[in-house]
Structures are given as C-alpha cells and as structure tokens.
Amino acid sequence: MASLIPCPHCGQRPREEFTVKGAALVRPAADAGRNAWLDYVYLRDNPRGRYDEHWHHTSGCRRWLVVTRDTATHEIEGARDTAARTETVE
Amino acid sequence: MSVSAIEHRAALGGKAPLISTGVTLRTLPEGHVLHLLSASADSDVSATISAVLGCDALTKRSVSPGQWFVVGDEPLSAAALADIVKKVKPHAEVVDQSHGRVRIAIAGAKATSVLAKGTAADLALNVFPVGHATTTLIGHIATHITRVSEDGFELMVLRGFAESLWEELAELSVEFR
Ligand SMILES: [Zn+2]
C-alpha cells in the first residue's frame, strides 16, 4: 500500500505527512529545444507499473524525495532524497 | 505617535499542569528556540556546531539534514544571541524562533501511548532513544518531538497551534487519568 512512505531521514511515515508533486523526470538541458521543454513541463505518460514521483515530506523533515511506486499495486519500492539523485541529461 | 511597550504573553499562559499517574502534561517556559540551518548535512558540521556551542543532544536537536533547533528555558539577551550567532555563523545560519515556537512536556509511563494515538512515528525506545528528535503530525498539527528521558518527551509547535495541541493531548490522555 502507498499509505506508508519510507522517508530516508524519518523512517516509515503515513502519506498524510507528504505532498505529492508528480512525476520525477530528467530535466532537459537549459538550451534544449522547445519540444523537449514542452514535454517536460506538460506531457505525462501515466504508465501502469513502476513510477518515480517527487514527494515532499511536508509535515516531517521537509525534504524532497523521489518515491518509486507501482501505480497498479501501490507497492512502494523505495524512497531517496532528491539531493542523493544523480541525473544524466538525455 | 503613541508609544506602547510590547508585553510578552505566554501562548499557554493559563494552562495548569495536567498530572495523573499515567501521564503528565506541562507547559514549558518560553525561553529560547534558535533554528540553525546549514548548507551541509555532514555529521561533522553537526559535531562542530555542538562543540562551538558546548551543547548536548537535548539542547541542540535534530530537525532534518543540516538543520537543528537549539532550545533552552531562559530567554536570551541580545548580547547572548549575538554571541551564539557569531560562533555558529561560519557553519550555519541562525534564525531566532523564540517568539514563534512553543514547547510542551509530556511524561509518564503512558506518555508514549498518548503520543502513539496522534502520530505514526515509531516512538519505541530502541529506535527513538533519549536525545533523538523528529518532526511528525500529531493529528493535523506538525510537531517536533524530542525524547528527553525514557518516559518523557518535549513537543514543539508553531505558537498558533500550541493551544490546539495542548487540548488534543489533554483529550488523548483522558483514559490514563
Ligand atoms: Zn522525512
């Protein structure tokens, strides 16, 4: 169930403590084309299955996390601090 | 121009302690609460700040990576605050929250049971030892909890929520009276 989120700083916490921001996507390069930015800002795939999302631990440590969740089963695979995430620009 | 002195009124001024065999609730003095914020979450930054201030885990409480609350029962003079800021400045920013956050003490054999009705944070002594602190929801109120003894906690909330939290805790502890 998606009701308990394993915050890397605070431990297991109920989802009521969090704010969900949506898909955690790789940010395009600053000089990427108009279409790349349009995709990044507006277009979402709405996949069935594994999904990376930004969750903010609003009523806890107030850190932004990337939570990996299964959209079909609501199973939580893990959560990590966004600062610990290494992005590679496509 | 009219001049009027600023009068300090404690947010929980009129609240008498609620004392029973199972659990005791007390308001704590509105002394000082300093919010320390560092760009670095490294544990050596935390240790350095503790060293320059000469304070322990019950005085400098963890908030989140790179953030701490330094608390005490005594109000700080402008000079004392300036001295702390000077010492901490190379390592973290200091924001005086003494006016903005209020502390409540809850203690007793049933203190953990009372809090467990309000929060989902794991308060078991082995995972939440003395000196450990975290922020969590108690009901709908974001509360910073510090374990100060085996059966005692300090709760800190934004001033405007203090009375609501007090009343909520009073209700949650009725069954243990
Ligand atoms: Zn957290």
Q: In Å, how far are A27, B27, B125, B154 from B148, measured between CA atoms?
A: 44, 15, 11, 7
Place of tokens 């939570």: A67
- Beta pairing partners, B60: B70
Does A87 map to a domain? no
Q: How many CB atoms lie within 10 A of CB A84?
A: 9
Find the closest chain B residue to A62 by CA distance: B64
Q: Mean pLDDT over all residues of chain B?
A: 94
Residue A23 CB burial class (10 angstroms; 0-12, 13-18, ≥19): middle
Question: In this predicted model, what pLDDT tens digit does every residue of B9-25 receive, in sequence order?
Answer: 899 988 999 999 999 99
Neighbouring residues of the ion ligand 1, judged by CB less than 5 Å: A 7, 9-10, 57, 60-61
Chain centroid to CA B39: how far? 22
Extents of the domains making up chain B: 18-176
Nearest C-alpha neighbor of B25 from the set B160, B158, B152? B152
What is the number of domains present in chain A?
1
Residue A78 Cα to ligand 1 middle (Å): 13
Query: Is the Cβ–Cβ distance between B69 and B103 less than 8 Å?
Result: no
Which residue range(s) make up the domain with A33? 4-81
The pLDDT, as a whole number, for residue A90 is: 37
Does A90 map to a domain? no
Query: Is the Cβ–Cβ distance between B13 and B139 less than 8 Å?
Result: no
**Coil, strand, or helix at residue B30?**
coil
Query: Is the Cβ–Cβ distance between A39 and A66 less than 8 Å?
Result: no
Contacts of B124 in chain A (CB under 8 A): none
The pLDDT, as a whole number, for residue B73 is: 95
User: For residues B146 and B135, what is the distance between their CA atoms, to the nearest angstrom?
Assistant: 9
Query: Is the Cβ–Cβ distance between A18 and A57 less than 8 Å?
Result: yes
Query: Is the Cβ–Cβ distance between B105 and B26 less than 8 Å?
Result: yes
Kindly state which CATH superfamily the domain B18-176 is placed in. Answer: Probable tRNA modification gtpase trme; domain 1 (3.30.1360.120)
Q: pLDDT band at residue A11, thresholds of 50, 70 and 90?
A: very high
DSSP state of B123: -
- Residue among A4, A14, A61 whose CB faces B64 most closely: A61
CATH number at residue A46: 3.30.2270.10
pTM above 0.80, yes or no: yes
Q: Is B158's Cβ below 8 Å from some Cβ in A?
A: no
CB contact under 8 A, B121 and A59: no
* Amino acid occupying residue B163: E
Q: Is B64's Cβ below 8 Å from some Cβ in A?
A: yes
Contacts of B63 in chain A (CB under 8 A): 61
Query: Is the Cβ–Cβ distance between B62 and B68 less than 8 Å?
Result: yes
Query: Is the Cβ–Cβ distance between B106 and B155 less than 8 Å?
Result: yes
Question: In this predicted model, what pLDDT tens digit does every residue of A17-33 receive, in sequence order?
Answer: 999 999 999 999 999 99
Mutant choice from A7, A61, A62 vs B, greatest count of B C-beta within 10 A: A61
User: For residues B9 and B27, what is the distance between their CA atoms, to the nearest angstrom?
Assistant: 13
Nearest C-alpha neighbor of B106 from the set B76, B82, B138? B138
- Beta pairing partners, A38: none
Low-confidence ranges of chain B (pLDDT < 50): none
Does A71 map to a domain? yes
Find the closest chain B residue to A16 by CA distance: B137
The pLDDT, as a whole number, for residue A1 is: 41
Q: Is B137's Cβ below 8 Å from some Cβ in A?
A: yes
Percentage of residues of chain A with pLDDT beyond 90? 84
* Residue A2 confidence (pLDDT) above 90: no
Chain centroid to CA B59: how far? 9
Question: In this predicted model, what pLDDT tens digit does every residue of A61-87 receive, in sequence order?
Answer: 999 999 999 999 989 999 999 988 654
